[in-house]
Amino acid sequence: MKKILIANRSEIASRIIFTCKTLGIKTVCIYSDEDKFLPYVYHADESYALSESGYQAYTNQNNIIQIAIKTKVDAVHPGYGFLSENAQFAQKVITSGFIWIGPNPECIDLMGDKIQAKQTMGKSGIPVIPGFSISKNLGLEEIQKKADLIGFPILLKDPWGGGGKAIKKVTTKDELKDALFNIQTEAKKLTGSENIILEKYIENGRHIEIQIAGDGQKLIHLYERECSIQRRHQKIIEETPCNFIDPQILEKMYKAALRVAQTIKYNNIGTVEFIVTPDQKFYFLEMNTRLQVEHSVTEMITGIDLIALQIELAQTQKLKYKQHEITKQNHAIECRVYSEDPQNNFTPSTGTIKNLQIPTDPFLRIDHNLEENQNITPLFDPMIAKITTLGKDRNLAIKNMISALNNLKIDGIKTNISFLKAILNSTEFSTGKIHTQLLNENFLESISTQILNLTDSTEAEICLIAATLFSEAQLNPNMPKTTKTTLNKWKTQQWE
Ligand code: ADP
Ligand code: ADP
Ligand code: MG
């Protein structure tokens, strides 16, 4: 491979360019008009303007293929998001004579449909969450019967969904009708899906995923990542290793992940996601057939460049590593920094970046494309940077992360930096008592008191977090009344 087209933008485009440079591979990038000043555009050897704007620009398959033909690249790397899990695009890339840096389109297709994926994995003896596929013609009574069979709470989701979208927890029978209508409408709009998934909701579960790599025959795993700190079903803090699960259970999860990949003769890197119950039973959630946002933590503890591995697997279709060669050391944590307003229900925040200070501390990696005076538009995902820190153990990785967040300054837009710090400083996080629902309800009350005792937080930060919690408390009808009162009182006593 001499030249690669990167069908993506921003931080992940720059990350792929970095590896290509180390491998002596030239890069071609694409950009929409609003991205023309982003660093990745000039990090690449060649960059081409797209005629459309926003998401549309980066998902116009034919335009991208035409640029690949014109620039005579050998391969296409899709990054994550956009076309990375689009089997039709992968096939077009291959049919046009290029190497697709990802698994076979058949693997993408099978895993893209969570219903088909669950059915296939269930048959291979992998534990799957009990559930049903609900077609649009099924009557409410039938659906209610299925929900009763499983028992509330249940979860409704779009089988083709991603990024935590079109997922809804349903706690009681009374909520079912409206929730069904909402998810069916959302799924239709988001992915065009006529069917939805109805499955058991795993209360206080941990999201633990296994990174795997394979060449269609041979397979290895690169350990786990815990991604239980989520908002609206989307990860915001991820780490590896997970010290809070019995090592024997983790071993079983590695084996199960490898079996998942083996079943479909998986041939690149991929991630098998599991949900783990409080009594440490694990269930297959889905498989992501692409590079994951949080791949950096795995790179930090294994020393393996996952993008180099993707490129090599695509080129040679041969996995060079044996399992015993994959070792791990130390602890890594990633935080996703979003341009969003925690005081206003975390709505995306837009504006012009000012007074930008990106720390360069030891034990720190920041993947970003930020620059002074850059416009943050509402056109793309609000994730603006990923911070990864390393430590000899978990506590040191957390300390390094808090220090990095303290040293990261971004004006001109609202960000979730203080919210991330509040989570990292909480006893729940430091003692590992975490699960996918942690950031709701009681936790907000708990961190509100903990924040008051923080010595290194500024008044402004305390105010911001107080406002965040207050906004959440008002918006969340499930929040215990005591919290609302406490926060109200706190608001007047400590803040005004
Ligand atoms: P993971 O890789 O862990 O599955 P998510 O599912 O939370 O992470 O995030 C992947 C999704 O995030 C993508 O499918 C996309 O919708 C969105 N996304 C976030 N940031 C970006 C970005 N910079 N470019 C493209 N997509 C992004
Ligand atoms: P996506 O493709 O959007 O990543 P997933 O199926 O991986 O969708 O689910 C995203 C998140 O939603 C999970 O990490 C978990 O927090 C939550 N979730 C999904 N299914 C369940 C379930 N059955 N029970 C509890 N939580 C779930
Ligand atoms: Mg997922």
Residues 140-183 pLDDT 10s: 999 999 999 999 999 999 999 998 999 999 999 999 999 999 99
- Ligand 1: atom nearest CA of 235 is 7
- Is pLDDT at 492 greater than 50 in this prediction? no
What are phi and psi for residue 432, nearest 5 degrees?
A: 75, 15
- For residue 209, the model assigns a pLDDT of 98
Look up tokens 């506590």; give the residue: 395
Task: For residues 31-56, give the mean pLDDT.
Answer: 98
Instruction: Please choose from 12, 381, 384, 388 the residue to mutate so as to test ligand 1's pocket, defined by most ligand atoms within 8 A of CB.
Output: 381
- Is pLDDT at 416 greater than 80 in this prediction? yes
| C-alpha to C-alpha distance for 242 and 247, rounded to whole angstroms | 9
Protein residues whose CB sits closer than 6 Å to any atom of ligand 2: 129, 155, 161-164, 167, 199-202, 205, 207, 230, 233, 273, 275, 285-286, 436
- Is pLDDT at 460 greater than 80 in this prediction? no
Dist. CA 80 → ligand 3 center (Å): 13
pLDDT in tens, 92-145: 999 999 999 999 999 999 999 999 999 999 999 999 999 999 999 999 999 999
Pocket flag, ligand 1, residue 293 (CB < 6 Å): yes
| C-alpha to C-alpha distance for 250 and 210, rounded to whole angstroms | 9
- For residue 488, the model assigns a pLDDT of 38
Dist. CA 51 → ligand 3 center (Å): 31
- For residue 483, the model assigns a pLDDT of 44
Residue 490, classed as helix, strand or coil, is: helix
Pocket flag, ligand 1, residue 381 (CB < 6 Å): yes
CA 275, distance to chain mean position in Å, is 15
- For residue 345, the model assigns a pLDDT of 81
Pocket flag, ligand 1, residue 112 (CB < 6 Å): no
Residue nearest to atom 13 of ligand 1 (CA): 81
Residue 81 DSSP code:
S
H or E element in which residue 133 lies: strand 131-134
Confidence of residue 443 (pLDDT cuts 50, 70, 90): confident
Is 92:78 a contact under the CB 8 Å cutoff?
A: no
Among all bound ligands, the one having the nearest atom to the CA of 238 is: 1
pLDDT in tens, 4-28: 999 999 999 999 999 999 999 999 9
- For residue 6, the model assigns a pLDDT of 99
**Residue 240 CB partners (closer than 8 Å, separation 6+):** 223, 224, 225, 226, 297, 298, 300, 301, 328, 331, 332
Pocket flag, ligand 1, residue 162 (CB < 6 Å): yes
Dist. CA 164 → ligand 3 center (Å): 7
- For residue 343, the model assigns a pLDDT of 76
The pTM of the full predicted model, rounded to 2 decimals, is 0.92
127 vs 461: which has the higher pLDDT: 127
Residue 359, classed as helix, strand or coil, is: coil
- For residue 36, the model assigns a pLDDT of 97
Dist. CA 50 → ligand 1 center (Å): 21
Instruction: Please choose from 55, 77, 80 the residue to mutate so as to test ligand 1's pocket, defined by most ligand atoms within 8 A of CB.
Output: 80
pLDDT in tens, 173-198: 999 999 999 999 999 999 999 999 99
Is 290:155 a contact under the CB 8 Å cutoff?
A: no
Residue nearest to atom 18 of ligand 2 (CA): 233
Dist. CA 163 → ligand 1 center (Å): 6
- Is pLDDT at 467 greater than 80 in this prediction? no
- For residue 423, the model assigns a pLDDT of 92
* Average pLDDT over all residues of the chain: 91
- Is pLDDT at 257 greater than 80 in this prediction? yes
Q: Which pair of structure tokens corresponds to residue 386?
A: 């990923």
When mean pLDDT is compared across 61-75, 395-409, 461-475, the lowest value belongs to 461-475
Instruction: Please choose from 108, 293, 298, 380 the residue to mutate so as to test ligand 1's pocket, defined by most ligand atoms within 8 A of CB.
Output: 293
Among all bound ligands, the one having the nearest atom to the CA of 229 is: 2
Dist. CA 164 → ligand 2 center (Å): 7
**So which residues are the catalytic ones?**
290
| Alpha-carbon dihedral angle through residues 60, 64, 65, 67, given to the nearest 10 degrees | 150
What are phi and psi for residue 401, nearest 5 degrees?
A: -70, -45
Confidence of residue 346 (pLDDT cuts 50, 70, 90): confident
Residue 436, classed as helix, strand or coil, is: coil
pLDDT in tens, 446-458: 676 666 555 555 5
Task: For residues 427-455, give the mean pLDDT.
Answer: 77
- For residue 344, the model assigns a pLDDT of 81
pLDDT above 90 covers a percentage of the chain that reads 85
Q: Is the CA virtual torsion 234, 238, 244, 249 positive or negative?
A: positive
Among all bound ligands, the one having the nearest atom to the CA of 235 is: 1
- For residue 489, the model assigns a pLDDT of 35
